[in-house]
Amino acid sequence: MSNTEQPKVLAIIPARGGSKGIRLKNLRQIGGQSLLGRAITSARAASRIDEVVVSTDHPQIKAEALSYGATVVDRPADIAGDTASSESVLEHVLEQFDPAPEVTVFIQCTSPMISPEDLDAAVETVEQSRAEVCFAAVADHGFHWALDEQQQAVAVGHEMSHRPRRQDREPRFRETGAFYVMNTAGFRAAQHRFFGRVAIHEVPSEHGIDIDTETDLSFASLLVPQSTAPIDVDAVVTDFDGVHTPDTAYVDEHGTETVRVSRSDGMGVARLRAAGVKFLILSKEMNPVVAARAAKLNVQVAHGIDDKASFLANWMRDEGVNPARVAYVGNDINDLAPMALVGWPIAVSDAQVEVHRAARHRLSRSGGHGAVRELAELVLAARHAPVPAAV
């Protein structure tokens, strides 16, 4: 890549397809975005980064990177295995650029909470020659211990007999692995990410999580802030059980099922209809109560649908709506496929953890307790026009 428009600051995101702990970990979702997508989005939002490159050996990861606007460098097999160093991947990407960028930003997408402002601050530290390397770390005021050869506890960095208060202890810093900003010439000479003067850029403790296990994914899904963008959509599609109702049913001695719904949700749906927002209830359950509730609300309904994603794709085509401007509200794993088709996948507050991970927005209310009304108000607010209440 040799031309006069070469980037001065280049971000490189290694993302191979052979993760063993979690298969295709870089494509797993948190907050409605893949880990890779989150990293690319943060890097592209940083004002001091000129170009974002993803190094990968996997076609799905390549497609995901391109969809988020990154450049892709295909990684050769000899540096795609478990034993390949991150430094070798960075060097391979840098070899594609002539002249080389002045600053290299190494980003790991297993850190799902990377602030563009933190990236900019770290780049500025290197650009202004305050250090040759600047990396993300979190402060740690804990008492550290290690085990000696006899497996006895040994104090590290403090005296066992002296227990100062937290505010009286100097912090240590734990490397998060989220990002490393380096002077490129210095890195290529050292062949290692730490050389010369090394600076720490402290990030909030919640930004220190690194995804290695399914437990990490679950924990991160609770920490990742929800989108604050206006939910400006032309259509709302919802599951029924667990969204319009609590995820329960009442069964009498004759086996007849009844469910509880929210009148507040009914008003929310009426307000959406009055504002011209299309509304569809899409349910796997073949239960007369689903059709009855839809008739009461005067909205479209499709129930007894096993392949909800295919039905939704056809419905959006037939209705002429842009999938990017559709919200889908779900609560359980059979909602994951249709959620992946729309621009606004949304979870009720008591949804399954997999649904929370896939959601771009998490409602504060649970199914059957005003979740649909909450979404309706968010959609109406985004339309910037007062809508009269329907009678």
Q: Which of 194, 222, 250 is the last residue before a domain boundary?
A: 222
Does 337 lie in the same domain as 306?
Answer: yes
Q: What is the pLDDT of residues 98-114, one digit of tens each?
A: 999 999 999 999 999 99
Mean pLDDT, rounded, of the chain: 90
pTM exceeds 0.85, yes or no = no
Size of the chain, expressed as the number of residues it contains: 391
Nearest to 97, CA basis, from 44, 41, 53, 66: 53
Contact predicate 9/121, CB 8 Å: no
CA 310 to chain CA centroid, nearest Å: 25
Does 268 lie in the same domain as 210?
Answer: no
Does 61 lie in the same domain as 138?
Answer: yes
Alpha-carbon span 106 to 12, nearest angstrom: 5
Does 213 lie in the same domain as 280?
Answer: no
Alpha-carbon span 389 to 270, nearest angstrom: 8
At a CB cut-off of 8 Å and minimum separation 6, what does 310 contact?
none
Provide long-range contacts, Cβ within 8 A and 24+ apart, for 143-151: 144/172
Contact predicate 356/30, CB 8 Å: no
**Number of domains making up the chain:** 2
The alpha helices in 128-183, defined as continuous H runs, are none
Range of the domain at 289: 235-382
Does 290 lie in the same domain as 156?
Answer: no
Q: What is the pLDDT of residues 9-42, one digit of tens each?
A: 999 999 988 776 677 889 988 877 889 999 999 9
Does 283 lie in the same domain as 217?
Answer: no
Does 295 lie in the same domain as 207?
Answer: no
Residue 3: inside a domain, yes or no? no
Our CA angle for 93, 178, 147, nearest 5°, is 120
H or E segment to which residue 44 belongs: helix 35-45
Q: What is the pLDDT of residues 120-150, one digit of tens each?
A: 999 999 999 999 999 999 998 888 899 999 9
CATH number at residue 175: 3.90.550.10
Percent of the chain beyond pLDDT 70? Answer: 95
Contact predicate 195/187, CB 8 Å: yes
Q: What is the pLDDT of residues 336-378, one digit of tens each?
A: 999 999 999 999 999 998 898 888 898 989 999 999 999 999 9
